Chain A
Amino acid sequence: MMRTRIPLYGTLVLLLLAFLAPLLWALSGSFKPRGDIFAYPPRLLPDPFTLDNYQRLFSGQPFWRWFLMSTVVALVATTVSVFVCALAGYGFAKFRFAGKRLLFGVMFSSLSVPFAVILVPLFVILVKTGLGSPWFALIVPWVAPAFGIFMMQQYIVQSVPDSVLEAARIDGASEFGIFRTIVLPLLRPSLGALAVWQFLQSYNSFLWPLVLVSDSSQYTLPLGLQTLFVSEQRQYDLVLAGAVIAVVPAVALFVVLRKQLLEGLSTGAVKG
């Protein structure tokens, strides 16, 4: 039995190495002197090992502020959007109201509109309405993603029985109370999956912060790391150190929500 699985495990290990290789290379490079990063033949283990790249990353630019800005914005955007998506998805899934099909169709069709297309109009609207401050505006585009609403609507249709909601209503629960105490707990696996997806969307966002933020101390990580790379002297050493640190929040979130994420994805797959 074991012998028959060797090819399978071997393939999986090779795939794992292929996926991990860029991360390992970045991790290794971040501890190498600049001149060794592209040394030939390449060495995986840094020799000499140095923390100089990290020291210069923290001392030469407002890296901690970039990190904080990205993480806080992504966490707030994720928290708000997960709640909004669940609420909107619940509305579309379980309520009848005039224009529901049209509204859902419009919302669904917006999935096909690239963000680049609405970038400038959204920016102009926020500026003209006085809501263009970075902390607020960096979060706004991620608050009600059509994909998240659609995902929640689909999950609620499949996983939340009408009979449970009717029973709660008969017991006198308010509509928001039903949503909070019955629907949200049932959605936990899909909320975890949505949270990870949403966090990465906001955390990796580049174009929107680029247009919005001019003060380099308010840059997000992708924007800050880009400034290290695009100067005439491409600072691979600093970029690699920054990239390694940038991975941490995403990995941490995945570890925390791993169970919900896998459960949510597998549930969706089974019920397809």
Chain B
Amino acid sequence: MFPAPPTRRTLLRGALGLGTAAALTACGAGTTTVRTSGDVTLSLWTHDPGYEAFFRKGIPEADRLTDFRYHLDVTRAGPADLVTKLLAQAVAGRGTPDTIGFEIGSFPRMLRGDIAPRLLHDLTPDIAGVPGLKDDLLPARLAPYSKDGGLYALDSDTPMVVYYYRDDLFSKWNLPTDTATWEEYAELGARVHQDHGASLCVVSTVGSDAGQVVQSFQMLLYQRGGAFFDADGELVLDSPEAEETLRFLCDGLRTGFVIDISDYYGAAMQTALKTNKVAGLPMAIWYKNYGLLPNVPEQKGRWRVRGLPRFTKGGGVTAALGGTGFGVVKDKANTEAAVDFLLNTWLTHEGQVRRFTETGYLPTRRSVYEDPALNATKDDFCGGQQLFRLYRSLLPDVPAFYQSPDQSILFDVLAGNLLRAYRGDVSPRQALKQTAADYRDQAGR
């Protein structure tokens, strides 16, 4: 049964990826009169209405800071669908957007061949043109959207992974909230499961997509200091850190410290949360707004956030999971206007402050973490906690996340092998070795 055969959509992505680089060559850059001022309607593609709202609200500020008067024409579709659509439109030579948001897991398709450099505007010189900006931007959030020294999108978030826990249950069950290491947490979690039937960690399993299955493992792997790919896009998964992390999760499943759930956002998780089967879990900061709030609004005030416990053998206190990079399509009449729009909404201090207050996404500029207003913000869902201060303290530990054009292949083969390891069919070592072998076999590298 594992790994799952590629779906039609996966095959399409592959076919599009392979064919697009060559086809784009034929498209070439036509003669375009570049708009440098005045009224401009930017075509914006995104998967999330939250981004649409953010950019619409940013228009007055962008109008004030530039020579343009902006209007937005927004198209929404699924994250992977947007890339499929973009590539098809680019090959056809019409209908591409001016600005597009790439969910981080969908961006690797743009890294195949020279698709990104041919299709997207390199933002490196624009960043360099703003005094102090280059050094202020967090390199960890530029890495996923970079290729060969070019930067093709600007991230929406510094999506740190933190530990969410139910403060009311921890108090009721007399559990410490400052447990230092994962190993201690695992012992604690086993007792909690035995005494109360609850778990303190979650992995996503059968029923969810490969991305979700991988994410459960990915968070702790990166926290431990491991990675999927290095800066050159080479697979580095088969490592002692990865084996240790996977063994930790497998052991946790046996003791009940870890619970397996089919979907972080769907019915299974909602039920587990409502019935107190999940008393805590590691997840990215955005999970509060997009996972907990929609699923268990009645638990407002009961949740708290802390940094991840450390692994005894090393690593940091956080990881990063998710993100959406906004890029600009090159050689179009609105390219300059779109770049200016991004710089003056997405990257200004005010824009980054607004992004956190309106969408819950953390700044990608180091200096914004010193903003007094953000540091004073209290979070009602988390019992009035000043979360931003916590996030600021975790910032130095955010690891870079490098992507490969063949990431989707890795996710498919890794998801299957992770599930086999969780079920006990293979050892963590075997699962990782098999993943590496399957990946190299299918990706040809």
Contact = CB atoms under 8 A, between A and B. Distances in A.
B46 to A, nearest CB: 9
A126 to B, nearest CB: 8
B312 to A, nearest CB: 35
Contacts of B12: 116, 119, 207
B265 A234 contact: yes
Given A35-B298, A127-B93, A207-B9, 15 more contacts: A38-B266, A114-B8, A120-B15, A120-B88, A123-B91, A127-B92, A128-B92, A210-B77, A210-B81, A211-B85, A214-B89, A230-B77, A230-B81, A231-B76, A233-B294
Contact of A210 (B43, B85, B286): B85
Contacts of B216: none
B79 interface: yes
Interface string A123-155: 110011000100000000000000000000000
A59 B16 CA distance: 36
A232 interface: yes
A119 B88 contact: yes
A227 B11 contact: no
B376 interface: no
B50 A231 contact: yes
B304 to A, nearest CB: 22
A50 interface: no
Nearest to B298: A35
Interface string A220-236: 00010011011111100
A231 B92 contact: no
Contacts of B43: 214
B8 A123 contact: no
B8 A232 contact: no
Interface residues of B, number: 46
Classify the secondary structure of A's interface with B.
helix
Contacts of B267: 37-38
Contact of B75 (A40, A128, A132, A216): A216
Contacts of A40: 270-271, 274-275
B95 A214 contact: yes
Which label, helix, strand, loop or mixed, suits the secondary structure of the B interface?
helix
A143 to B, nearest CB: 20
Contacts of A258: none
B84 interface: yes
B313 interface: no
A34 interface: yes
B244 interface: no
A226 B78 contact: yes
B11 A231 contact: no
A151 B426 CA distance: 48
Given A207-B12, A216-B75, A226-B81, A123 B92 contact: yes
Interface residues of A, number: 31
Contacts of B270: 38, 40
A114 B11 contact: yes
A216 to B, nearest CB: 6
12 contacts: A35-B297, A35-B298, A40-B274, A116-B9, A116-B11, A120-B23, A123-B88, A214-B89, A216-B76, A231-B47, A231-B76, A232-B289
B42 to A, nearest CB: 13
Contacts of A214: 43, 45, 75, 85, 89, 95, 97
B76 A39 contact: no
A39 B77 contact: no
A117 interface: yes
B274 A127 contact: no
A127 B84 contact: no
A215 interface: yes
Given A114-B11, A120-B16, A211-B88, A38 B77 contact: no
A34 B293 CA distance: 12
B290 interface: yes
B47 A230 contact: yes
Interface string A84-124: 00000000000000000000000000000010110110011
Contact of A234 (B9, B92, B275, B294): B294
B265 A215 contact: no
B442 to A, nearest CB: 19
B94 interface: yes
A223 B82 CA distance: 12
A217 B436 CA distance: 45
A233 B79 CA distance: 13
- Interchain residue pairs A-B with the least CB separation, the first 3: A230-B78, A116-B12, A38-B267
Contacts of B9: 116, 207
A223 B295 CA distance: 25
Contacts of A210: 77, 81, 84-85
Q: Considering residues A34, A40, A232, which has the most beta carbons from chain B within 10 angstroms of its beta carbon?
A: A232
Interface string B240-253: 00000000000000
Contacts of B47: 230-231
Given A227-B76, A227-B77, A34 B84 contact: no
Contacts of B49: 231
B19 interface: yes
B84 A39 contact: no
Interface string B1-31: 0000000110110011001000100000000
B48 A226 contact: no
Contacts of B298: 35
Given A40-B275, A216-B76, A34 B294 contact: yes
A120 B19 contact: yes
A223 B77 contact: yes
B224 to A, nearest CB: 27
B271 A211 contact: no
A119 B84 CA distance: 11
Nearest to B14: A116
Contacts of A120: 15-16, 19, 23, 87-88, 91-92
A120 B289 CA distance: 37
A217 to B, nearest CB: 11
Contact of A116 (B8, B75, B77, B92): B8
A215 B290 contact: no
